[in-house]
Structure 1
Amino acid sequence: MVKDNIVITQHKDGCQIELLGEIDIHSLDKIEKKLTNNSCKNILAINIAHLKRIDTAAALFIKEISHDFKLLSGTVDEKIQKTLDLVKDFQKQSDLKQEISFLESIGKFWCKKVVFLSYFFNFIGELVTKKVSMLFSWKNFRYKEILFEINQSAIKAVGIVALTSFLVGIVIAYQSAVQLKMYGANIFIVDMLGISILRELAPMITAIVIAGRSGSAYTAEIGAMKITEELDAMRTMGFDPYYYLVIPRIIALSISLPLLIFIADIAGVFGGMIIAHTELDISPGLFLERFASVVDVKHFLIGEFKGPFFASMIAMIAIYRGFMVKDDTQSIGKNTTKSVVESIFSVIVIDAVFSIIFTKLGL
């Protein structure tokens, strides 16, 4: 091997370089240092006639200092030329950008939605199959997992749900008090708060909080298990993820949400009662008496009835998004975000459907 792989000849307007012998990734550092020490910024020509062997790292180096091989001189060996050809188009970017028409972008958007729905319905179909098979084989019913998820989804969420509903009750009552006071209809704040909170606001607020809290956790947990191949390990050992991960979470959330809605009802009405007392001089005793006489129990039952439907949809979307995570951590963040957004949207759609149905039924 040639002791020195580079010979630099200085000229007034620049320098001429001759590369010799065998150059690979290990010898490039010395060559670069020699170029720097000789202040060879303006290269006039590069003679590679005496090169015997180079690797792709050396070829890329030659490509860079020769401005895409424009400064090369000398007869090039056939093997050297083949290596140079390998990196000829390396990192060559086209200035042309593919333009997507408006109709094409709409088509791609809806195609993605159709694919999502097809996979989602496939997930629901398998889930229903597993639930039916569970009815005939109670050994697959995971009591401990369900109780654990109830603790995670319900008991640990009581504080945030109660506080959120309490503040919403205060805001609704405070804004309404200003208008009711103008017409001397102070007492009707009880009717408005009772019906709106029990029937709509408490279920909706609770579902949104749980979608952001438990739904995102479900997606992240299952997504992380998929990345670390824990799901594959479970299947290999004969543990069906649907029995151990999916169904317990759906059952737990379906039990938890009605309980949390009940707590949200109490907190929201209590917040409204405080404002009614401070702003409209309605005593707590009068408030509760009016509440019991005008707010029918059907409003409470309707709110509770929505809970399992909200919970099932939140859990299914969250778990499905967890299964959709790919083999990178960035995918967890994307699917967690989609999980929360889609869950909240689904809750609003379901609530709107129930509102229409209950109105048509006269409830």
Structure 2
Amino acid sequence: MKSVPWEILRKREGTVIVCHGEWTLNNAAGIEKALQTIPTDLSPPCQIDFHKVKRFDSAGMLLLLDLREKLRKAGIECSIVGLDDKQKKMFVLVEKGYGEAPLPRRKEGFFYRIGRATLNEIDVARSFFHFLGELSVTSVRLLLHPRNFRLRETVYHIEQSGFNALFIIALTSILVGLVIAYESLVQLSQFGADIYVVDGIGIAITRELGPMITAIVIAGRSASSYTAEIGTMRLTEEISAMRTMGFDPFYFLVIPRIVALVIALPLLIFFADVMGILGGMLASKAQVGISYSFFIERLQEVLAAKQYILGIIKGPFFALIIAATGCFHGFRVTGDTESIGIETTASVVHAIFFVIACDALFAILYTQMGF
């Protein structure tokens, strides 16, 4: 406001502060600033006259109470006059809560945090099962109408999730093979059993480490990518626009990503097996001088095709877990950018956890079946 929203009338019988203008939230900053300049040398008795105020709201009533309180602290008791019935009702309501201390913030104890986290996870699990149900219905519909399958998008995601991941898969697998070989040779060389390092590397890489390392790398790479992409589309309301135009987002966003990863991950596991064994071969040559030809001959003797197949079988299941988890968390993104980071982190954590849990189930199943 350009001027103070009151006029001070000094009379012989006392002082009257005549308020005028609009005491609303839009003018609150100006009125609050004017309160700093209110004189405190007013002669009692003092009245605050509110009848000339054109417009008011609850913010204006709070400022009126601030004016009275400021004068009261200066030793000047003021009465408020000129309020109509509507103003009196609002004044009484605002005055009841004026000056009250805010409610103390509830302390969150250990068990409270555990309960809240548990309820949040239950809500996530319920939403995930709902997502899986919708995904199953869409998959059945797609089988009945295969022309709705998005081949171009699937090929694109095979390239993004499969071909573009070859370098990081190769580097990780070679390093794992090197580590396994060096650690095994340290122990086996004490008993003169260096040759058995080939057995350990071949079986460990093809049956367990190759699929597991590949799935973890892809979970960190592709699950986060799927969540960020779909989450950004939710943030920009592209998914809402797709539904408005009659397009099912599962056909365009979810199914192509899942099919692409189901195709790409077994191939990546095979590549990881080769690179892991190569790393073990290099380490064996450098550490104990096992020749490459002898290493390959020994590998052919001890590594049965069954071990390789048992590892490859895990690929489609890992791929389904990773892709579904990434897409699910993408659809959970809300209307702020912070939720993209939260859901991306959650998708990677949940995907890795479910992959490890699935691998444990496979280990139990293989043991029970005598593999």
Query: What band does the TM-score fall into relative to the shorter chain?
Result: 0.7 to 0.9
| Cα drift, residue 145 of structure 1 | 0.9
| Cα drift, residue 23 of structure 1 | 4.8
1:95 aligns with 2:98: no
Amino acid at match of 1:253: L
| Cα drift, residue 325 of structure 1 | 1.9
| 2:31 and 2:63 in contact (8 A); partners too | no
1:232 aligns with 2:240: yes
Amino acid at match of 1:234: M
Amino acid at match of 1:94: L
Q: How many residues align?
A: 355
TM-score, normalising length: structure 2: 0.83
1:241 aligns with 2:249: yes
Amino acid at match of 1:350: C
Alignment CA distance shift 1:69-1:299 (3 Å): farther
1:74 aligns with 2:73: no
Q: Distance in 1 between matches of 2:143 and 2:30?
A: 74
Matching of residues 212-223 of structure 1 within 5 Å: 212-223=220-231
Q: Distance in 1 between matches of 2:131 and 2:229?
A: 18
Deviation string for 1:108-161 (max 9, x for gaps)? Answer: 554444443333223222222222222222211111011011011001111111
1:5 is matched with 5
Secondary structure at the counterpart of residue 103 of structure 2? coil
Deviation string for 1:20-79 (max 9, x for gaps)? Answer: 32254566566566666x6989x9x99661333244444444555766996572224435
When the two chains are superposed, the root-mean-square deviation of aligned CA atoms in Å is: 3.5
2:12 is matched with none
2:11 is matched with none
Pick which of 92-101 and 163-172 moved more: 92-101
Matching of residues 125-144 of structure 1 within 5 Å: 125-144=133-152
Amino acid at match of 2:106: K
Q: Which runs of 5+ in 1 are unaligned?
A: 9-15
1:20 aligns with 2:28: no
| Cα drift, residue 324 of structure 1 | 1.9
Secondary structure at the counterpart of residue 307 of structure 1? helix
1:50 is matched with 49
Q: Distance in 2 between matches of 1:216 and 1:337?
A: 7
Q: Distance in 2 between matches of 1:64 and 1:325?
A: 43
1:362 aligns with 2:361: no
Matching of residues 198-217 of structure 1 within 5 Å: 198-217=206-225
| 2:68 and 2:78 in contact (8 A); partners too | no
Matching of residues 277-316 of structure 1 within 5 Å: 277-316=285-324
> Aligned to 1:170, which of 178, 188, 203?
178
> Aligned to 1:182, which of 190, 206, 218?
190
Q: Distance in 2 between matches of 1:112 and 1:132?
A: 31
| 2:154 and 2:256 in contact (8 A); partners too | yes
Alignment CA distance shift 1:280-1:141 (3 Å): same
| 1:20 and 1:48 in contact (8 A); partners too | no
2:160 is matched with 152
| 1:4 and 1:20 in contact (8 A); partners too | no
Deviation string for 1:151-199 (max 9, x for gaps)? Answer: 1100111111111111111122222221122221111111111111111
| 1:207 and 1:311 in contact (8 A); partners too | yes
| 1:225 and 1:231 in contact (8 A); partners too | yes
Amino acid at match of 1:73: C
Matching of residues 95-134 of structure 1 within 5 Å: 95=104, 97=106, 102=111, 109-134=117-142
Alignment CA distance shift 1:40-1:201 (3 Å): farther
Pick which of 297-306 and 46-55 moved more: 46-55
| 2:174 and 2:277 in contact (8 A); partners too | yes
Q: Distance in 2 between matches of 1:232 and 1:26?
A: 35
> Aligned to 2:258, which of 231, 246, 250?
250
Deviation string for 1:212-252 (max 9, x for gaps)? Answer: 11111111111221222211211222221111111111100
1:319 aligns with 2:327: yes
Secondary structure at the counterpart of residue 21 of structure 1? strand
| Cα drift, residue 98 of structure 1 | 6.2
Secondary structure at the counterpart of residue 80 of structure 2? coil
TM-score, normalising length: structure 1: 0.84
Q: Distance in 1 between matches of 2:219 and 2:91?
A: 56
Q: Which runs of 5+ in 2 are unaligned?
A: 9-14
Deviation string for 1:2-32 (max 9, x for gaps)? Answer: 9643579xxxxxxx99573225456656656
Alignment CA distance shift 1:17-1:96 (3 Å): farther
Q: Distance in 1 between matches of 2:66 and 2:110?
A: 38
Alignment CA distance shift 1:209-1:60 (3 Å): farther
